[in-house]
């Protein structure tokens, strides 16, 4: 019993530094945000008095739009719908790209050195800041950009294409560019743990390459796909810089609303929106976690 107690104490002492960092930089700030979301605010001061008015303001008009037929959807639901649309489209594209690239690296590149080199090539965009990577699309997709000039030169269009930049397309393109790597890494890690004899057994039993991928590789890569999905969905749901830059400040998102409210010193309303966004993201993560037992798989 003494040895067990000592082991438990040692384990707690080993976990204490990380727990302290987690508490200081995550739990306490999150608690402060929740606390401020229940404060009152005037034009010039914050009043630490409990009220749920900020949450009522967040969902103002949403009840009427859900009950009354033909009523316009409230701003909050519209914004969450737009943000969710960006998240799901980005998730679908990054999942296909991430799975394809990871599959190529894991099963078609035999040399471990070449796998490492190509994997490093995939990380090259991360050598610069997100803002620089987003701005680099402007001279490519702009009205007088390289893409429009090429299309005009080939005679495929008679006038510049307007929707290439400052549109939903450019926002999704930037999201895919920024976050595909977060999908590649966990899927590649899962694929590298697959026993290659399972692939040989599938081929020996007459399975086509597509059948092998669908019935063997994909199920065994599910853990990596779920982890990548959590990363991508959480990042896109809270992103406001990409939407602002690539959307030309014309496209709304939940993160953008929070940023604008904070800039106008509406801290309780911004905190309430942040809590609602956190709850929505946590529900998505819980739903994904139910698809796989990460503790068992990892």
| pLDDT for the residue 294 | 66
- Three-class SS state of 94: helix
| pLDDT for the residue 63 | 64
User: pTM value?
Assistant: 0.85
pLDDT tens digits, residue range 26-84? 889 889 999 988 888 777 777 888 888 888 888 876 766 555 554 556 778 888 888 99
Neighbour count for residue 292 (Cβ, 10 Å): 16
Comparing 30-34, 99-103, 231-235, 250-254, the range with the smallest average pLDDT is 250-254
| pLDDT for the residue 209 | 82
CA distance 59 to 269: 11
Q: Is the pLDDT of residue 92 over 90?
A: yes
| pLDDT for the residue 72 | 58
| pLDDT for the residue 78 | 85
CA distance 68 to 251: 27
DSSP 253: -
Segment 10-24 shows an average pLDDT of 84
- Superfamily designation of domain 73-297: MetI-like (1.10.3720.10)
Segment 13-37 shows an average pLDDT of 88
CA distance 80 to 27: 25
| pLDDT for the residue 85 | 92
CA distance 27 to 282: 15
Q: Is the pLDDT of residue 298 over 60?
A: no
| pLDDT for the residue 172 | 92
CA distance 218 to 114: 23
| pLDDT for the residue 2 | 60
- List the chain domain ranges: 73-297
| pLDDT for the residue 68 | 55
Mean pLDDT of the chain: 84
């Amino acid at each position: 019993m003494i040895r067990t107690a000592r082991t438990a104490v040692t384990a707690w002492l080993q976990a204490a530094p990380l727990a302290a960092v987690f508490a200081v930089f995550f739990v306490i700030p999150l608690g402060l945000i929740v606390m401020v979301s229940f404060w009152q605010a005037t034009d010039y001061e914050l009043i630490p008095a409990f009220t749920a008015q900020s949450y009522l303001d967040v969902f103002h008009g949403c009840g009427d739009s859900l009950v009354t037929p033909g009523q316009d959807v409230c701003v909050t639901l519209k914004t969450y719908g737009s943000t969710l649309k960006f998240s799901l489209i980005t998730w679908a594209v990054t999942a296909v790209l991430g799975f394809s690239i990871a599959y190529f690296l894991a099963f078609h590149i035999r040399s471990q050195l070449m796998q490492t080199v190509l994997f490093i090539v995939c990380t090259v965009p991360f050598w610069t800041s997100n803002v620089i990577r987003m701005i680099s699309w402007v001279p490519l997709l702009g009205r007088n950009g390289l893409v429009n000039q090429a299309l005009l030169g080939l005679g495929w269009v008679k006038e510049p294409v307007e929707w290439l930049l400052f549109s939903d397309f450019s926002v999704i393109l930037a999201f895919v560019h920024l976050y595909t790597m977060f999908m590649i890494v966990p899927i590649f890690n899962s694929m590298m743990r697959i026993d290659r004899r399972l692939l040989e057994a599938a081929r020996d039993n007459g399975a086509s390459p597509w059948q092998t991928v669908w019935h063997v590789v994909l199920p065994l890569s599910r853990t990596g796909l779920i982890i990548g999905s959590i990363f991508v969905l959480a990042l896109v749901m809270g992103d406001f810089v990409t939407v602002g830059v690539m959307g030309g400040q014309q496209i709304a998102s939940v993160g953008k609303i929070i940023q604008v409210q904070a800039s106008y010193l509406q801290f309780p309303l911004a905190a309430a929106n942040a809590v609602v966004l956190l709850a929505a993201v946590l529900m998505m993560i819980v739903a994904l976690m139910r698809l796989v037992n990460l503790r068992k798989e990892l």
